A and B are shown apart, each in its own frame.
Chain A
Amino acid sequence: MAVSDVGGEFGSRAEAGLLALRAEPEPEITVSPFERPPERPPKGPWRWAKDNLFSSVFNTILTVVTAVVVVAVLRGLTAFIFAPERQWRSVGVNLRLYMTQAYPQEQYVRVWVVFGIMVALGGLSFAFWRAGGPMPVRRITGFVMGMAGFGALVVLVGPFVAVPTKLVWLAVAGAFFAAAAVVHSSEWSRRTEVSSMRVWFTVLVLLILAVWLVPFGHHSFVDGAVQPSEPGTVAMSTKVPLTVMAVVLVAAYWVGVALRDRVPANAVKGTLALAWLLSVPFNLFVILRDPDWDYGRVLSVWLPLFALFAIGGGVLCWFATNPSHAEGGRLLGGLILVAGGLSYLLTYLGLLPGMLQVVRLSILLLGVFVLGGPTFGGAARARRRYVAAWMLFIGLLYYFVAAINSPSTVRVNTELFLGGLSITILVAASTMIISFPIGVLLALGRTSKMPIFRVMCTTYIEIVRGVPLITILFFFSVMLDLFLPRGMSIAEIMAVTLGYSLFSAAYLAENVRGGLQAVRRGQYEASEALGMTAVQTSAFIVLPQALRAVIPALVGQMIAVFKETSLLAIVGVFDFLFIANKVVGTQSEFLGARRENLLFVSFVYWIFTFSMSRASLRLEKKLGVGER
């Protein structure tokens, strides 16, 4: 990309001047030689195999040995999967258990609403971030040919079916292969590209059609008992929401495509990013509880408090963001921070008995916001945005605090009523989102010039990294209550998620630190020479570069976080793996079916982690644009 663009420099003044100096200006090169490499005659498969697999004696031995190993593994795996005694029904019957465990069935609509929100946001984000791109038809046909060949190989080496059946399946694979090969070799496929999003949507539509048409059977698991399987397609209560989700996804995508050229893209992207962030707590609330508001208290306590902090804090932020009050703003912020700290101290000493926890927290947060005002303020629009951010922030805080303090209308059996894949995703996503800012701050602290920050952050990181995750999970599930202010308690799953986040943050900090070290000294100097403050330099110059440099490491850690949620089983959370291993594996009607379920679970884990790693590759490519 960068190479071909260099060809476009001829417009610049100095180049033009240089060209003019020459007696005979050379003819301008219209097509850069880098853009179209000379087409080599295509190699046949035999030639390719000879060049790549059998080029030397050693290579030939290696090829043969590897082929034998691959065939043996494939044969063993297929023998396991397709053996008649396998109870794959145990997976199908328990799908609901796998997804939500004991979540009350009449409240499933909540889960679907949450899913719908994420799908709609996803569709819009795909459109605005221009996900996908032109996909050559030949890549699709090549993929189909590869899969057909692989399928044929499985049928051939698989020890599981009679010869006539094998022949039928071989014929099917052959037909697919032939059809794809015909398209593949045509001139049309060489020239044509289709939008990859369309391809994915087509696959999605096919999947939805399959749900409606293929008789998977109709299982359900109600009140701890498996309802007998019925022939036919899956239940309406699954088919309809799934279809609605697909429609929402595609519709959101097309709405996004239609809008993206008519609205300011950056503003929409910012809004979408914010919506993603807010969707996490919002979704948690939709799934976990539906506050039964006590309107008397809302009107007498929460609304006045909110109004006080939103308006009063807004005025203070407006003051602090005025460039001519820079020093005053910092001083004010410092004073408010001290007042917030004092309020905690006085409460601890028992001198402010009636003060609500959230009020103290609000004072501290206001201090931070006012302190940041001079750094991020400026022109009227920036100031308005800053005040709006404060008001939004404090509004959310009060909404959630008020909601937590109201009884829930979602009736559940126990505290840990949610389980399965939902809790795995919920904990993993919350951990990723909570640990990220903490990890970044820790990394900045550890590389800070101020010794107190450096020592504190280093100590924290080294201590947390030296303690096993399981210890931390136990600690937070059992002992956290002892450390909280009197009268305050948090749900065990939240406590465990918090502990997991703090653990993950320490590792994340080390990854980010690697990125910080990769940012060259000159970048700091250039930023400082422009008069930017240390906070601005970190936020706009250093962190963006540091984070992009460590995307692979960060994604690797996110994948680890996702997989290691299975350790939560140790503190009594019914996570996805636990259900396969200990719940389904011990159901009396499916005794001995644990291996099937473990394989299923590993496959689902793999799908998630594989998608994450592919997404990170795309992200790397996209962010790498314009960099050398």
Chain B
Amino acid sequence: MTDETIPEVAGAVPERLADRDDIIICEGVKKWFGDFQALRGISATIKEKEVVVVLGPSGSGKSTWIRCLNRLEVHQEGTIVVDGVELTNDTRNIEKIRSEVGMVFQQFNLFPHLTVIDNVTLAQLWVRKRPREEANEVAMALLDRVGIPEQAAKYPGQLSGGQQQRVAIARALAMDPKIMLFDEPTSALDPEMIKEVLDVMKELARSGMTMMVITHEMGFAREVADRIMFMEAGEIVEVGTPEHFFTNPTEDRTKLFLSQIL
């Protein structure tokens, strides 16, 4: 598939999002790991306050793409513009973008040597340069929002996986990001803990956050997503609203994927 092929299907962008500003614009993004081409020309735009769920089999480049959006991975061709700033090798741009884009990882990646509250305040102190009192207030408010204010003084190792992931969400939210990226946030969790994390994410979506979520939770995708993007082999195969995507997919590969997963 080539750069200019942007799969436009019925209901690709829901009407209520039509007059919103684009916050992420990707054009022909390509990336190689050695000889292996992980991204084969991704072109997509994401609107403000939109919730996009990215689906696809493993190895399809979902994580690579989302990690390119805050430059944890460097793309080699194409352009990515986030919040009006193009991602280049300029360190200042990268740091600016990263402080505007929150990220939640599959493996939580909490800082194990810091208490929960210190995990949430650290970047506020040193990146946002907030005074400690204010940072603590923000942190406690966020821990309250994700439902674990009583764990503030504990270390991440003393929490369950679901609690850790909620701390990770609070840590990202503490930077007041404009966009939140979720890289398989529930894949490392025991089944009974998935719900508590998804609940937090649903609440976040309702509050109007721009979100990009890689997940295998089809229920979540159906309920929360404004749009669903289906990726395979490093390219976006199909884009559409949840009802279109789940009830009436056009591409054969999408149908195959859905038949395997549902």
Spell out A's residues near B (CB within 8 Å): 1-2, 5-6, 9, 11-14, 18, 323, 327, 375-382, 520, 522-523, 525-533, 536, 540-541, 544-545, 548, 623, 625-628
In the bound complex, residues from chain A placing their C-beta under 8 Å from that of B158 are 1-2, 5-6, 626
Flag if A532 contacts B129 (CB, 8 Å).
no
Instruction: Produce 1/0 per residue, B122-165, CB < 8 A to A.
Output: 11011101111000000000000001101100111111101100
In the bound complex, residues from chain B placing their C-beta under 8 Å from that of A527 are 111, 123
Instruction: Produce 1/0 per residue, B156-182, CB < 8 A to A.
Output: 111110110000100110010000000
Flag if A540 contacts B155 (CB, 8 Å).
no
**B204 nearest CB across to chain A (Å):** 15
Q: Can you offer 23 A-B residue contacts whose CB atoms are under 8 A?
A: A2-B158, A9-B160, A12-B148, A14-B195, A14-B199, A18-B192, A378-B129, A379-B130, A380-B131, A381-B131, A382-B129, A382-B131, A525-B109, A526-B109, A527-B123, A530-B171, A531-B98, A532-B123, A540-B122, A625-B155, A626-B156, A627-B112, A627-B155
In the bound complex, residues from chain B placing their C-beta under 8 Å from that of A1 are 158
**B92 nearest CB across to chain A (Å):** 7
**A563 nearest CB across to chain B (Å):** 31
Given contacts A531-B95, A627-B113, contact A6 B127 (CB under 8 A): no
Extra A-B contacts (15), CB below 8 Å, given A523-B109, A530-B122, A533-B95: A2-B158, A5-B154, A12-B196, A14-B193, A522-B109, A526-B111, A528-B72, A530-B98, A530-B99, A530-B172, A530-B175, A531-B95, A532-B123, A532-B127, A623-B113
**A619 nearest CB across to chain B (Å):** 14
**A420 nearest CB across to chain B (Å):** 40
**A202 nearest CB across to chain B (Å):** 35
Flag if B105 contacts A522 (CB, 8 Å).
yes
Is there a chain A Cβ closer than 8 Å to B107's Cβ?
yes
Flag if A530 contacts B123 (CB, 8 Å).
yes
Question: Which of B70, B129, B147 contacts A323 (CB under 8 A)?
Answer: B129
Within the assembled complex, what's the spacing in Å between the Cα atoms of A627 and B132?
25
Within the assembled complex, what's the spacing in Å between the Cα atoms of A625 and B113?
9
**Nearest chain-B residue to A545 (Cβ)?**
B113
Question: Which of B123, B126, B157, B196 contacts A627 (CB under 8 A)?
Answer: B157
In the bound complex, residues from chain B placing their C-beta under 8 Å from that of A6 are 158, 160
Flag if B148 contacts A532 (CB, 8 Å).
no
Within the assembled complex, what's the spacing in Å between the Cα atoms of A628 and B158?
8
Flag if A522 contacts B107 (CB, 8 Å).
yes
**Nearest chain-B residue to A540 (Cβ)?**
B122
Most buried by A among B96, B111, B131, B192: B111
**A266 nearest CB across to chain B (Å):** 11
Flag if A327 contacts B148 (CB, 8 Å).
no
In the bound complex, residues from chain A placing their C-beta under 8 Å from that of B38 are none
**Nearest chain-A residue to B171 (Cβ)?**
A530
**Nearest chain-B residue to A535 (Cβ)?**
B126
Flag if B111 contacts A523 (CB, 8 Å).
yes
Most buried by B among A375, A378, A520, A523: A378
In the bound complex, residues from chain A placing their C-beta under 8 Å from that of B195 are 14
Flag if A378 contacts B130 (CB, 8 Å).
yes
Flag if A530 contacts B127 (CB, 8 Å).
yes
Kindly list the 4 A-B residue pairs having the minimum CB-CB distance in the complex, ordered from nearest. A626-B155, A378-B129, A531-B99, A14-B196
Flag if B113 contacts A548 (CB, 8 Å).
yes
Is there a chain A Cβ closer than 8 Å to B39's Cβ?
no
Flag if B105 contacts A526 (CB, 8 Å).
yes
**Nearest chain-A residue to B168 (Cβ)?**
A526
Most buried by B among A520, A529, A627: A529
Is there a chain A Cβ closer than 8 Å to B103's Cβ?
yes
Question: Which of A377, A381, A529, A536 contacts B103 (CB under 8 A)?
Answer: A529
Flag if B105 contacts A525 (CB, 8 Å).
yes
Within the assembled complex, what's the spacing in Å between the Cα atoms of A155 and B105?
66
Flag if A378 contacts B125 (CB, 8 Å).
yes
**B175 nearest CB across to chain A (Å):** 6
In the bound complex, residues from chain B placing their C-beta under 8 Å from that of A523 are 109, 111
Given contacts A378-B125, A545-B113, A627-B113, contact A529 B147 (CB under 8 A): no
**A8 nearest CB across to chain B (Å):** 9
**Nearest chain-B residue to A1 (Cβ)?**
B158
Within the assembled complex, what's the spacing in Å between the Cα atoms of A244 and B115?
41
Instruction: Produce 1/0 per residue, B72-116, CB < 8 A to A.
Output: 100000000000000000001001101101110101011111010
In the bound complex, residues from chain A placing their C-beta under 8 Å from that of B112 are 545, 626-628
Within the assembled complex, what's the spacing in Å between the Cα atoms of A376 and B126?
7
Within the assembled complex, what's the spacing in Å between the Cα atoms of A12 and B195?
13
**Nearest chain-A residue to B196 (Cβ)?**
A14
Within the assembled complex, what's the spacing in Å between the Cα atoms of A527 and B172?
10
In the bound complex, residues from chain B placing their C-beta under 8 Å from that of A530 are 98-99, 122-123, 127, 171-172, 175
Instruction: Produce 1/0 per residue, B228-243, CB < 8 A to A.
Output: 0000000000000000
Instruction: Produce 1/0 per residue, B194-207, CB < 8 A to A.
Output: 01100100000000
Flag if A12 contacts B126 (CB, 8 Å).
no
In the bound complex, residues from chain A placing their C-beta under 8 Å from that of B172 are 529-530
Flag if B163 contacts A525 (CB, 8 Å).
no
In the bound complex, residues from chain A placing their C-beta under 8 Å from that of B105 are 522, 525-526, 529
In the bound complex, residues from chain A placing their C-beta under 8 Å from that of B98 are 528-531
Flag if A532 contacts B126 (CB, 8 Å).
yes
Within the assembled complex, what's the spacing in Å between the Cα atoms of A151 and B50?
79
**Nearest chain-A residue to B135 (Cβ)?**
A379
**A353 nearest CB across to chain B (Å):** 41
**Nearest chain-A residue to B99 (Cβ)?**
A531
**B85 nearest CB across to chain A (Å):** 13
In the bound complex, residues from chain A placing their C-beta under 8 Å from that of B102 are 529
Within the assembled complex, what's the spacing in Å between the Cα atoms of A13 and B203?
14
Given contacts A11-B150, A378-B125, A531-B98, contact A544 B157 (CB under 8 A): no
Flag if B157 contacts A626 (CB, 8 Å).
yes
Within the assembled complex, what's the spacing in Å between the Cα atoms of A382 and B92?
22
**B173 nearest CB across to chain A (Å):** 11
Within the assembled complex, what's the spacing in Å between the Cα atoms of A529 and B73?
11
**Nearest chain-A residue to B106 (Cβ)?**
A522
Flag if A628 contacts B157 (CB, 8 Å).
yes
In the bound complex, residues from chain B placing their C-beta under 8 Å from that of A11 are 150
Flag if B147 contacts A12 (CB, 8 Å).
yes
Within the assembled complex, what's the spacing in Å between the Cα atoms of A308 and B96?
36
**Nearest chain-A residue to B147 (Cβ)?**
A13
Flag if A531 contacts B111 (CB, 8 Å).
no
In the bound complex, residues from chain B placing their C-beta under 8 Å from that of A327 are 92
**B131 nearest CB across to chain A (Å):** 4
